[in-house]
Amino acid sequence: MRNFLKKLVDSGDSEVEAHLVLLCLGAVTLIGLSIYHVVCLQHAFDPDPYGQGLGCLLAGGGAAAWGQGLQRTAQGGKDKDDESGQ
């Protein structure tokens, strides 16, 4: 289980990605609060706010991952130029 969680937030260079950690923590918190709302507070489960919240969370995490990918692509080109002596 630990290996699975480590791979979930790991980049290709064996570095932990901050946006993936925040995305996982946010998803666990959102699910936990939904369970608390239904089980402890005895309220009816309303899928609309839950789905909208989870969708916004995943969209934000996807946007962060996309932005980081663009940044890495730009840095990758610079790193190759530096290694070739240009």
Q: Structure pTM?
A: 0.58
- pLDDT confidence tier of residue 73, bands split at 50, 70 and 90: confident
Residues 59-64: what's their mean pLDDT? 80
Please list, residue by residue across 27-65, b when 16 or more beta carbons sit within 10 angstroms of its beta carbon and e when fewer do. Answer: eeeeeeebeebeeeeeeeeeeeebeeebeebeeebeebe
d(CA 7, CA 34): 26
Each domain of the chain, given as residue ranges in start order, spans: 2-78
> What is the structure's pLDDT at 39?
92
Interval 3-56: pLDDT, tens: 776 766 666 666 677 777 777 888 888 888 888 888 999 988 777 777 788 788
